[in-house]
Amino acid sequence: MMDAGDTVLAFEAVDAGYRGRPVLRGLSLAVRIGDCLALLGPNGAGKTTLLQVATGLIPCRAGRVLLFGEPVARMPAARRARLVGVVAQELSTPMAFTVEELVAMGRTAHLGRWQPPTPDDRRAVDEALAMTDTAALRRRVFQTLSSGERQRVALALALAGEPRLLLLDEATSHLDMSHRLEIIQLIRRINTERQLTVVMIVHDLNLAAEFFPRIAVLADGRIAADGTPGEVLRAPLLRRVYGCDVTVQQDSAANCLRVFPRAPGRQETPHVPQP
């Protein structure tokens, strides 16, 4: 049985939704210290709602959410902001901030009103820039960056707050293949080296299978499966959740599973190159 002290984030029979429309229905999930968890599921399954409930943006109608053992509903917003870093699908700003200025905003929750940055704040910003390989961009205006560079800066902004939990809401869905891979490898490295707990919404099942040691699948507002890629990425479950036929095979070269959608009536088995 898992020690409650190992739990970073816990959903206990949570119901939540918008304007009378239920989205999460009796959802229970525990995220442990050091987890790198991919949230999978079709559109409308409740993935983004789950993250919004975790940060207190949406209240629970039933059940509760605990963050490091404390009910999120009773936790001051500033304390939540110090514990949790959030990376959205795309970061935008109407003003011409430099990268360094923007990343420094990640320290806001640590500063008192009108308090100037301390040496610790400057150190945290420098470390976040270094971790995300954006130090060379620090004087650049954010709007002049490429999509991949912007997303690394968004990650640096979240990391500058020195969170204990990092939540990413479809943070790579708008990127091309190369930048998507770059961001996910970076997140996995930070998770491993810093033991930072990560929960990330992922749409690419193959990237989830290759880089995330734990996967949870949402369907109709509930957890349909939770475990290792080998335990979760099963063809019958994926067919039921996504509503399409799939083939799941082992990729010996990459040492991970691969998921192939299959058109109705198509019988051919995809070929996975051998090493």
Q: What is the pLDDT of residues 149-162, one digit of tens each?
A: 999 999 999 999 99
The number of folded domains in the chain is: 1
- Is 269 inside a domain boundary? no
Give the chain's mean pLDDT.
92
What is the DSSP track for the chain? Answer: ---GGGEEEEEEEEEEEETTEEEEEEEEEEEETT-EEEEE--TTSSHHHHHHHHTTSS--SEEEEEETTEEGGGS-HHHHHHHEEEE-S----SS--BHHHHHHGGGGGGSPTTPPPPHHHHHHHHHHHHHTT-GGGTTSBGGGS-HHHHHHHHHHHHHHT--SEEEESSTTTTS-HHHHHHHHHHHHHHHHHH--EEEEE---HHHHHHH-SEEEEEETTEEEEEE-HHHH--HHHHHHHHSSEEEEEEETTTTEEEEEEE-TT--PPPPPPP-
Please check whether residue 275 lies inside any domain of the structure.
no
- The CATH number covering residue 217 comes to 3.40.50.300
124 pLDDT band, cuts 50/70/90, is very high
267 within domain boundaries: no
Answer yes or no: is pLDDT of 98 > 50: yes
Q: Which domain holds residue 78?
A: 4-262
The verdict on residue 274 lying in a domain is no
Look at residue 26 and tell me whether its pLDDT is greater than 70: yes
**Residue 271, domain member (yes or no):** no
